[in-house]
Structure 1
Amino acid sequence: MIADCIEMDRLSSEIEELGNISEYPLPAVTRVLFSDADLRARAWFKERCLSADLSLHEDAIGNLFATWLGQDPDLEPVATGSHLDAIPNAGKYDGVVGVLGGLEAIRALKASGYVPRRSIVLIMFTAEEPTRFGVGCLGSRMMSGVMPLARAELLQDENGLGLNHWRGRAGHVSEMSDVLLDRGAFSSFVELHIEQGPKLEERGIDIGVVEKIAAPAAFRFHLTGAGGHAGAVLMPDRHDALLAGAEIALAVEKAAITSGSADTVATTGVFEVKPGAINSIPFAVKMEVDLRDTDMAARERAEKMILTQSADICTRRGIECSLETINSDEPAVCDANLVSLVEAKSLELGFSTQRMISRAYHDSLFMARLSPITMIFIPCFKGYSHRPDEYSSPEAIRKGVAVLAETLKSLSL
């Protein structure tokens, strides 16, 4: 059996080794796009791919494609993969399980003697995390054409350094137009990932099979009021930007609760205040809001409520408000045949399953523009993610890799 060829000791060791390639020591993992740690992790991973006799190709922004050439290379390949970048103070499993687990699935298939008809491509996506430029899934966004090249060239980090600077530093100097792929570039895409939620662990379920992926709309508010001395300006005369922002943040919460969908979530994740002095009235606020649902109608209702109420709040308080849309993405519906296939392979292996919605978004959200997709979720401790105590057991990972390997085999026949 393919599952018997999975070398879990090797995979666990690799996860640990990669976790130590970080801007900060374990247990905290930090690998920001094209930082020294990220570049070391990329080089480390490429060595493992070459050791597995996979051919490598990198595009103009560092998306890495490791290919096991099939018997009929003219057929559209099967793809899997995830990301290796990590937000500051993160854990060692998010994204990594999908990349190293994908590599182990390929190694297990090879060890079992299987030879694919379709090529199998393992993708390590660039910048799934939004840390460098404030945009998540940059590699798959650009690959799928969701982010136009002209907009990508305008991206800057907090120091004003753009994507061209950072990709050049990493040695990627080809034309960015090479990143864009046509729909149908892959016959299918299946991503293995930790759940990043508690449901599988709570219910004792081995494998989550993803049917839908929620998508975010993100907004940036700039509020401008009037500053002044905290003791000298009386309350009726104030135009306090912080208080306007606080009301907007509460309106964001209420909009999610009253959208009509239990899956609507909204978060005010950035709230920056100027001048930031205890004895000075806040005159400026920058806020960033994340709004998500798998139901576009519900998300749009919530968005309308947020925008209407924020305008009313600012008018009442005498605050100027400018609004910038960071992104507005469409949810993805996973391919029914792929969902059924993953479910069937899990059951054949004796694993319990549950169909799920992914409320976090992943590169699969944008890969859905290029091919049929689904995701394989495995349990993680208390649903923790994006924190140092993020954890998924070797046994949970082994089961996910086994399901992925069997799925890739069926798709590449």
Structure 2
Amino acid sequence: MIKTLRFPLLTLLPFCFCCFPEITALKDGEDPTIKTMEDFSGYPIHEPHFPNAVSSLSVDIHSLQKQIDELSTFSDTPAPSVTRILYSDKDVLARRYIKNLMGLAGLTVREDSIGNIFGRWDGYEPELAAVSTGSHIDAIPYSGKYDGIVGVLGAIEAINVLKRSGFKPKRSLEVIMFTSEEPTRFGISCLGSRLMAGSEALEKALKKTVDNQNISFLDAARSAGYAKVEEDLSSVFLKKGSYSAFVELHIEQGPILEEEGISIGVVTAIAAPASIKVEFEGNGGHAGAVLMPNRHDAGLAAAELALAVEKHVLESQSIDTVGTVGILELHPGAINSIPSKSHLEIDTRDIDENRRNNVIEKILQSALAIAEKRGVKLSEFKMLNQDPPALSDESIINAVESASQYLNLGHKLMISRAYHDSLFMARISPMGMIFIPCYKGFSHKPEEFASKEDIANGVKVLALTVAKLSRY
């Protein structure tokens, strides 16, 4: 755990980013006890006044917005949409773009065997565990240009902000671009961070995983210049404590901050996600020739289960419980043919893991009952993932709140109902997240938007937060 130091955040600005290695002489009228405490802790107890301190946090928002716009051009679909799929040609070009920006920021760049990218600014005690920040740049089909991107480009700019201010970190600061936060190509969400967190099951599964074109994960990775030998995958694992803290800047992907006119969301927890694959098998036949009483329609079984998901989620009577049937496919998929097979993929989430698991059990019981009633076979009910929630670390929450207060930005404590790489980084180090508003809460669609002002505010809060954490 990181120890929380409850001193004014102003003391972290470059004007007083100094340590006090030895006791110095008292000034006239100075309290010797306070002086000793200040010298020992390295932090002034009384907040000094620096009228120009806020202006020293200079975010080059015009360059940052230009970078966001430029990165959006690495897309397989036309603007304003963005489609950037793992290990595609556009993804490889986007990765080069990020590595170039890291290099221009003076960061030491490295990549692991699946393409997680790291840019490090060495602190003056580099042997200490680093403070890390970052997000992802892959984008689902026809999405927007801010999801994940703000957390990567914003993190690089936060480093630039601190460098321009004259700050020098004690602990190293590291920006991470995670591989494949979205499950688009191989059906695995947060692939990079999940593997970094030491998932041996994932490491084994990736050696057999293929996409919908029957291209293996390993072949796709190699085509992008990664996974040169299979054994490399386990090298991605990081030990617990590899970082002293991880902080992720992200658009909210919901409407709360914008509706309430609040600049910063301080994330206290990330909801527990679970994904389920369900398949029914029935009897096909001609849509006109088979009479209704004689049908064993796998499509109707899927439709009934989709409605049951909604029913069971609402039964929880919690606003934090959600369920979505995001994929529903019928075979053979002809208008004049009774579906003989159906395939569903269900997303369930809740901040309460037990409540979510209770919903999953109800969905299973409904699937069994529907299959029996309709005379079809429940051929598969498989948990694709069933992850626990993650709690933000109190010291990081305090640091984000302190930064927001110092910058006179309205903020509120909130949970993240969407899940992020932070969920898995919490298994490696203390974790926290910073949300900024986005237009109408839109995300995963071309209309996704965050204003320059909100992005700049988020970068400033991130810069001050990682600066504070780097001094522990």
Normalised TM-score (structure 1): 0.98
Q: How does 1:170-181 map to 2 (within 5 A)?
A: 170-172=224-226, 173-174=228-229, 175-181=232-238
2:199 counterpart of 1:142: no
Report the equivalent of 2:94.
41
Report the equivalent of 1:401.
459
Shift of 1:215: 2.1
Alignment check: 8 A CA contact 2:112 2:236 kept? yes
Q: In structure 1, which of residues 299, 309, 315 is the aligned counterpart of residue 372 of structure 2?
A: 315
CA distance in 2, matches of 1:279, 1:409: 63
2:208 counterpart of 1:154: yes
Shift of 1:152: 2.1
Q: In structure 2, which of residues 217, 220, 230 is the aligned counterpart of residue 166 of structure 1?
A: 220
Report the equivalent of 2:283.
226
CA distance in 1, matches of 2:209, 2:173: 32
2:279 counterpart of 1:209: no
Report the equivalent of 1:270.
327
Shift of 1:388: 0.7
Alignment check: 8 A CA contact 2:206 2:218 kept? no
Q: Figure out how many residues of one structure are paired with residues of the other and give that number.
A: 413
Q: In structure 2, which of residues 153, 162, 184 is the aligned counterpart of residue 109 of structure 1?
A: 162
Report the equivalent of 1:126.
179
Give 3-state SS (helix, strand or coil) of 2:128's partner: coil
Alignment check: 8 A CA contact 1:215 1:331 kept? yes
Give 3-state SS (helix, strand or coil) of 1:154's partner: coil
2:409 counterpart of 1:351: yes
CA distance in 1, matches of 2:383, 2:126: 42
Shift of 1:58: 0.4
Residue identity matched to 2:161: A
Q: In structure 1, which of residues 365, 372, 376 is the aligned counterpart of residue 430 of structure 2?
A: 372
CA distance in 2, matches of 1:184, 1:253: 40
Shift of 1:282: 1.0
Residue identity matched to 1:76: A
Give 3-state SS (helix, strand or coil) of 2:338's partner: coil
Q: In structure 2, which of residues 398, 402, 423 is the aligned counterpart of residue 340 of structure 1?
A: 398
Report the equivalent of 1:200.
257
Alignment check: 8 A CA contact 1:206 1:396 kept? yes
Give 3-state SS (helix, strand or coil) of 2:384's partner: strand
CA distance in 1, matches of 2:202, 2:326: 26
Structure 1: runs of 5+ lacking an equivalent = none
2:271 counterpart of 1:248: no
Larger Rg over CA atoms: 2
Shift of 1:262: 2.2
Q: In structure 2, which of residues 83, 100, 108 is the aligned counterpart of residue 55 of structure 1?
A: 108
Q: In structure 2, which of residues 89, 114, 136 is the aligned counterpart of residue 83 of structure 1?
A: 136
Shift of 1:99: 0.2
Structure 2: runs of 5+ lacking an equivalent = 1-52
What percent identity do the matched residue pairs reach?
Answer: 50
Alignment check: 8 A CA contact 1:67 1:122 kept? yes
Q: What is the CA deviation profile of residues 179-206 of structure 1, one whole-angstrom value per residue up to 9, with x for unaligned ones?
A: 0000000000000000000000000000
CA distance in 2, matches of 1:6, 1:332: 30
Report the equivalent of 1:283.
340
RMSD between superposed Cα atoms in Å:
1.0
Shift of 1:309: 0.9
